[in-house]
């Protein structure tokens, strides 16, 4: 009988070719690519992979974290990482780090902080190098107004106004720890951090802040939307392709290699 | 009779789908995409586009500069830029800036400084998000040794050792003004600046510095290679996909919009 062992993985992926993290009938998911690669280390049976966050179709990841249990003896984590990176080819999914999962650790439920980056290409000309990686906004964005508006959303609130209709969370109460808007040349970056987010929360926040950046609404408006708790009053959901899941933090961090 | 006018363009493109800047029989070039788009503004006739640098197949550009003469009356440069960005679709070529070309100005011959960036992804795991944008080097690179070695190559020299066999330049004398190697996390970036470069010069320099970074050669080796003027003694030509043509500078800069 082979020993079963649970591994933690840090994943990088290009969201473009996938229906999202989660398995679905209508196309290939990151989860399926990972599980089918892991089957090669699990007597041919795809094990269940659980992720810290279920990213939507088109959303990228630099630092998604997942856990997977396989029956491959006491395989060192770097060998698991290398085997997965061999078998996930040619899909744009790469295990960047691996570790033996700590006792009692859950990729999803032990996470204490999640970080996202949203990239906006803010210029007249359409993107060439960053197609599929940015939201292209042609009108000039006032990032100082966006940043000021964002600061009024920090803290613990009912984020119903920024939640997808499909969101399955029991409560819309969340604590937003960071929402920064900055510009580097033609690129505007929104950085969002919280223990957890509602479905579409970051994209709805970005779409709402963009209305402020374009001068169509004042910097006090996003806070009024928040207080109204009415999704229909917020801005559009910013496109998936600008979003990247950057990191997950744990109180007990796996010993990554 | 329609007035002919010469325009300067700053171009961004993804090198992956192209045979390079220059028109060739064996596939689509950036030049062809641009000239065919410009034909729509030139009575259906593709005008000649001349670039500051003829990038190779797979090499990207953020700041290539080209000039083109079209018979479209006194069309403002921003209208030329927008029309080109409409007609180059869906190819990953975008005119980021445009200007009326100054009297006597040449995109190629008036350039006084050219800048390139070479990106190396230096980690075990293969790239997922940066496929086609980086050279993947698995062994740990000592970037301080690389940077030190690079500094010994600055100044005016005969760069025959770093020149492609196919290079058509009359002389191999060039003045290398900047060759910096720095690390940001898993990414190693080489920044190269000169008035002009020989064919494959940046990629040959990077391939040679990588030998130092991997510890296979000492930091004094690239200078010895330079002094030997023998291409067969240098390191490999680093892959095209890590290279990006970042900027071109002129003494008389076009009035970009």
Interval B197-241: pLDDT, tens: 999 999 999 999 999 999 999 999 999 999 999 888 888 999 999
Distance from C-alpha of A26 to C-alpha of B49, rounded to nearest angstrom: 45
Asked if residue B199 lies in contact with residue B164, where contact means CB atoms within 8 angstroms, the answer is yes
Interval B116-143: pLDDT, tens: 999 999 999 999 999 999 999 999 999 9
- In total, the C-beta contacts within 8 angstroms joining chain A to chain B are 61
Q: Does B93 touch chain A (CB under 8 A)?
A: yes
Which CATH number belongs to the domain containing residue B163 in this structure?
3.30.70.660
Is residue A53 one of the residues assigned to a domain? yes
Interval A31-53: pLDDT, tens: 999 999 999 999 999 999 999 99
Q: Does B17 touch chain A (CB under 8 A)?
A: no
Alpha helices in B92-235 (DSSP H): 143-151, 201-213, 221-228
Interval B177-192: pLDDT, tens: 999 999 999 999 999 9
Same domain, B91 and B194: no
Q: A-chain residues within 8 Å CB-CB of B89?
A: 126
Same domain, B143 and B220: yes
Same domain, B98 and B125: no
| Domains in chain B, number | 2
Q: Does A87 touch chain B (CB under 8 A)?
A: no
Cβ-count burial of A9 within 10 angstroms (0-12 exposed, 13-18 middle, 19+ buried)? buried
> What is the separation, in whole angstroms, between the first and last Cα of chain B?
27
Same domain, A120 and A99: no
User: Could you say which of B81, B82, B93 has the minimum Cβ distance to residue A128?
Assistant: B93
User: Could you say which of A82, A92, A125 has the minimum Cβ distance to residue B131?
Assistant: A92
Q: Does A93 touch chain B (CB under 8 A)?
A: yes
Extract the tokens encoding B16: 């992956």
- Cβ within 8 Å of residue A5, ≥6 positions away: A69, A70, A71, A72, A73, A74, A75, A100
Same domain, A171 and A234: yes
Extract the tokens encoding B119: 């990106």
pLDDT greater than 80 at residue B2: no
Q: Does A119 touch chain B (CB under 8 A)?
A: no
**Looking at this predicted complex, what is its ipTM?**
0.91
- From A63, A80, A109, the end of a domain falls on A109
For CA atoms A49, A53, A58, A61, give the dihedral sign. negative
Q: Specify the length of chain A in residues.
A: 257
Binding site of B, by residue number, is: 116
Is residue B130 one of the residues assigned to a domain? yes
Same domain, B30 and B131: no
Q: Which of B256, B255, B257, B250 is nearest to B106 (CA)?
A: B250
Mutate to test the interface with B, among A10, A93, A98, A126 (most CBs of B within 10 A): A126
Instruction: Report the catalytic residues of B.
Output: 56
Asked if residue B122 lies in contact with residue B242, where contact means CB atoms within 8 angstroms, the answer is no
Angle at A256 between CA A250 and CA A257, to 5 degrees: 170
The residues of chain A scoring below 70 in pLDDT are 1
Same domain, A150 and A236: yes
Is residue A257 one of the residues assigned to a domain? no
Q: Does A131 touch chain B (CB under 8 A)?
A: yes
The pLDDT assigned to B156 comes to 98
The secondary structure element, H or E, covering residue B107 is none
Same domain, A11 and A105: yes
Residue A192 C-alpha from the chain's centroid: 10
Q: A-chain residues within 8 Å CB-CB of B81?
A: 124-125
Among chain B residues, the shortest Cα distance to A87 is held by: B126
Among chain A residues, the shortest Cα distance to B30 is held by: A128
Interval B48-106: pLDDT, tens: 999 999 999 999 999 999 999 999 888 999 999 999 999 999 999 999 999 999 999 99
Which of the pair, B20 or A165, is modelled with greater confidence?
B20
Is residue A136 one of the residues assigned to a domain? yes
**Catalytic option among A25, A56, A130, A227:** A56
The pLDDT assigned to A235 comes to 87
Q: Is B236 helix (H, G, I), strand (E, B) or coil?
A: coil
Q: Is B227 helix (H, G, I), strand (E, B) or coil?
A: helix
Which CATH number belongs to the domain containing residue A10 in this structure?
3.30.70.580
Q: Output DSSP code: residue A232.
A: G
Same domain, B140 and B234: yes
- From B87, B109, B131, the end of a domain falls on B109
pLDDT greater than 80 at residue B1: no
User: Could you say which of A12, A129, A131 has the minimum Cβ distance to residue B128?
Assistant: A12
Same domain, B120 and B99: no
Same domain, A81 and A196: no
Q: What is the 3-state secondary structure (H, E, C) of A124-163?
A: CCCCCCCCCCCEECCCCCCHHHHHHHHHCCCEEEECHHHC
Quote the domain boundaries for residue B31. Answer: 5-109
Same domain, A120 and A232: yes
The pLDDT assigned to B244 comes to 98
- From A109, A128, A145, the end of a domain falls on A109
Distance from C-alpha of A256 to C-alpha of A22, rounded to nearest angstrom: 24
The pLDDT assigned to A165 comes to 85
Asked if residue B105 lies in contact with residue B252, where contact means CB atoms within 8 angstroms, the answer is yes
Mutate to test the interface with B, among A58, A85, A128, A186 (most CBs of B within 10 A): A128
Is residue A254 one of the residues assigned to a domain? no
Binding site of A for substrate, by residue number, is: 116
Q: B-chain residues within 8 Å CB-CB of A12?
A: 125, 127-129
The pLDDT assigned to A20 comes to 97
Is residue A251 one of the residues assigned to a domain? no
Is residue A105 one of the residues assigned to a domain? yes
Is residue B104 one of the residues assigned to a domain? yes
Angle at B6 between CA B3 and CA B11, to 5 degrees: 140
Distance from C-alpha of A53 to C-alpha of A192, rounded to nearest angstrom: 14
Total Cβ atoms within 10 A of residue A123: 18
């Amino acid at each position: 009988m082979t020993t079963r062992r649970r591994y933690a993985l840090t994943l990088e992926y290009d969201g473009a070719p996938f229906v999202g993290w989660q398995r679905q009938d209508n196309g290939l998911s990151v989860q399926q690519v990972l599980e089918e690669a892991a089957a090669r280390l699990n007597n041919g049976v795809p094990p269940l992979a659980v992720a810290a966050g279920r990213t939507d179709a088109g959303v990228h990841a630099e630092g998604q974290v997942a856990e997977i249990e396989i029956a491959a003896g006491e395989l060192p984590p770097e060998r698991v990482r290398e085997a997965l990176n061999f078998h996930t080819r040619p899909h744009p999914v790469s295990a960047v780090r691996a570790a033996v999962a700590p006792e009692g650790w859950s990729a999803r439920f032990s996470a204490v902080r999640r970080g996202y980056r949203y990239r906006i290409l803010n210029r007249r000309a359409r993107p060439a190098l960053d197609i599929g990686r940015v939201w292209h906004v042609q009108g000039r964005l006032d990032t100082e107004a966006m940043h000021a508006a964002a600061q009024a959303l920090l803290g613990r609130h009912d984020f119903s106004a920024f939640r997808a209709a499909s969101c399955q969370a029991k409560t819309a109460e969340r604590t937003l720890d960071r929402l920064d808007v900055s510009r580097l040349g033609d690129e505007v970056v929104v950085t969002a951090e919280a223990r957890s987010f509602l479905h579409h929360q970051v994209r709805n926040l970005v779409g709402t802040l963009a209305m402020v950046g374009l001068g169509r609404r004042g910097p006090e408006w996003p806070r009024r939307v928040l207080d109204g708790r009415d999704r229909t009053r917020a801005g559009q959901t910013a496109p998936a392709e600008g979003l990247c899941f950057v990191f997950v933090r744990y109180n007990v961090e796996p010993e990554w290699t």
